[in-house]
Each structure stands twice: as structure tokens, then as C-alpha cells.
Structure 1
Amino acid sequence: MMYLDKSFDERKENFHALFSVVDDALEKNNMQQLAMSLESIIKLAEASPFKDLETIEATAAALTDPDHKWDF
């Protein structure tokens, strides 16, 4: 759960920073800055901290499985 807590805290901070950039771009009427910051917000929203959870669970299961074969 600590992983998810930290992931969501980081996302919150990133969203806050990006929306500050959006506010600044709107105040300055800077459409390029606005477009770039909105694109970053969309990318961040599309990325889910849950996508890595499956990998973590699979790795943890493999570590506890004495018959697991590791390929390097």
C-alpha cells in the first residue's frame, strides 16, 4: 500500500504543478505553454499507478516460487 500512497501523492503534486503552469499560461496568453501543459496533464491522467502493481505482484510471486525459472 505504501507504493500506491507514494504514487498518488506524487501524482497529486504533479497535477498541482501542471495546473499552476496552465494558470500562468492563461494569464500570459501563452498558447504554446498552455498546449504543452495540457498535453502533459493528459499524459499524466492516462498513466495509472496500478499498471506497475501487476508487475510488482508477479515479481513477488516469482520470488516466493522455488520452481520459478529466471531468464537473464
Structure 2
Amino acid sequence: MDYLDRGFDERRENFRQLFERLDGAIASDNVRMAAVVLDSVVKLAEASPFKALRDVAATRAVLGKPGTEWKF
């Protein structure tokens, strides 16, 4: 659970900083900066902190299969 707590704390801080920058862009009437920041907000919102857990679970499942051949 500590992993999830840290992951969500990081996301919260990232969102806070992005919206702080968005407020600055709006206050200075900087449309281009606002668009860039909003794009970053959308990308962060689309990213899931659970994706890393899924990747770890998939790797663990493959490691548990005897005779798995790794190709690099």
C-alpha cells in the first residue's frame, strides 16, 4: 500500500503544480502556455498508477512459468 500512497501523492503534487502553472498562464493571458499545460494535465490524467502494477504482475506470472525462454 505504501507504493500506491507514494504514487498518488506524486500524482497529486504533479496536478497541483500543473494547475498552478495554468493559473499563471491564464493570469498573463498566455494562451499557448495554457494549451501546453492543459495537454500535460490530460496526459497525466490518462496515465494510470495501476499500470506499473499490471506490468509487475505480468512479469511475475511469466517468471513463474517453468521453461520460459527469454529473447533479447
> Normalised by the size of structure 1, how large is the TM-score?
0.84
Q: Is the 8 A contact 1:62 1:68 kept in 2?
A: no
Q: Take 2:67 and 2:8, find their aligned partners in 1: how far apart are those partners?
A: 32
Aligned twin of 1:6:
6
Which residues of structure 2 form unaligned runs of 5+?
none
User: CA–CA distance in 2 between the matches of 1:13 and 1:55?
Assistant: 24
Q: CA RMSD in A?
A: 1.6
C-alpha displacement at 1:3, in angstroms? Answer: 2.0
Unaligned segments of structure 1, at least 5 residues = none
Distance 1:66 1:44, change over 3 A: closer
Percent of residue pairs bearing the same amino acid type: 46
Instruction: Say if 1:28 and 1:47 are closer, same or farther in 2 by CA, change over 3 A.
Output: same
Match of 2:32 in 1: 32
Which runs of structure 1 show a deviation greater than 4 angstroms over 4 or more consecutive aligned residues?
none
Counting matched residue pairs gives: 71
SS of match in other structure, 1:44: helix
Q: Does 1:43 align with 2:43?
A: yes
